[in-house]
């Protein structure tokens, strides 16, 4: 309750702060908060992404812990066992967790001393042209932020690009990353990155994955 209403419950209808805490068997989390003034009912899960979930509050908390703390990820069958639910319910829960991750990462402003950036080409195998001339590939900007050079990344951002030009890359980086002249951006020699020397120091070091202490290990 303190997480949802840190300053205390305020009724959605009348702004009253006094309520009755009532235990109900037909309520997923077991309790309702009923306003003493107007009788409006409040639930802990109301107006959240889990308000229509078939899981109880306890199972939702267990599922959140398992989903976000599994080093190798967790599939629907495994999650179903943890929360004692069917696979369909567990998969719906996983989808909502991924939505939460996307929303959280999208609003996060990166503040780092070092960035690794590159352009990925996302798409299956198709006949015809390859590389930047391919009509079947979606250019996607990859950003890794680290506190120190050659350290494991703290955050990762992916952003689809309309083209391979520098302007949309610079625009997105200005919006989602903080820069100053002391910050280092490591990238390849793609001309789309040349405009970024106005934001930070550009480096073009190659990552040798055969070395024991290579970048991103």
Exposed, middle or buried by CB within 10 Å (0-12, 13-18, 19+), for 34? Answer: middle
Per-residue pLDDT tens digits for 91-113: 999 999 888 877 766 778 888 88
Residue 132 has pLDDT above 80, yes or no: no
**Higher pLDDT among residues 128 and 88, named by residue:** 88
Neighbour tally for 116: CB within 10 Å: 22
Lowest-confidence pick of 103-112, 130-139, 162-171: 130-139
Report helix, strand or coil for 100: helix
Start-end of H helices in the chain = 57-69, 76-83, 87-107, 166-176
Per-residue pLDDT tens digits for 42-100: 888 888 888 888 888 889 999 999 988 887 778 889 999 999 999 999 999 999 988 88
Amino acid 207: pLDDT: 60
Per-residue pLDDT tens digits for 174-213: 999 999 889 999 888 888 999 998 899 988 766 665 666 6
d(CA 43, CA 50): 11
Residue 130 has pLDDT above 80, yes or no: no
Q: How far is CA 50 from CA 44, 91, 194, in A?
A: 10, 13, 45
**What is the number of H-type helices and E-type strands within the chain?**
4, 10
Partner residues linked to 22 by β-bridges: 32
d(CA 181, CA 200): 5
d(CA 11, CA 120): 49
**129: which 2 tokens?**
């042209």
Amino acid 105: pLDDT: 66
Amino acid 124: pLDDT: 53
**Higher pLDDT among residues 148 and 168, named by residue:** 168
């Amino acid at each position: 309750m303190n997480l949802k209403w840190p300053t205390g419950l305020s009724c959605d209808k009348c702004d009253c702060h006094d309520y009755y805490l009532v235990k109900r068997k037909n309520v997923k989390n077991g309790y309702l908060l009923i306003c003493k003034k107007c009788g409006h009912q409040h639930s802990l899960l109301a107006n959240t992404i889990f308000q229509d979930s078939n899981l109880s509050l306890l199972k939702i908390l267990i599922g959140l812990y398992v989903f976000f703390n599994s080093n190798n990820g967790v599939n629907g069958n495994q999650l179903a066992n943890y929360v004692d639910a069917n696979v369909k319910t567990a998969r719906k829960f996983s989808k909502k967790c991924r939505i939460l991750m996307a929303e959280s990462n999208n609003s996060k402003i990166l503040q780092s001393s070092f960035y690794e950036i590159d352009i990925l080409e996302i798409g299956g195998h198709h006949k015809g042209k390859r590389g930047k001339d391919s009509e079947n590939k979606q250019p996607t900007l990859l950003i890794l932020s680290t506190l120190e050079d050659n350290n494991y990344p703290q955050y990762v951002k992916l952003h689809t690009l309309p083209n391979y030009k520098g302007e949309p890359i610079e625009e997105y980086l200005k919006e989602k990353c903080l820069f100053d002249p002391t910050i280092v951006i490591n990238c390849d020699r793609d001309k789309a990155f040349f405009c970024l020397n106005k934001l930070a120091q550009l480096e073009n070091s190659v990552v040798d994955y055969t070395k024991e202490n290579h970048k991103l290990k």
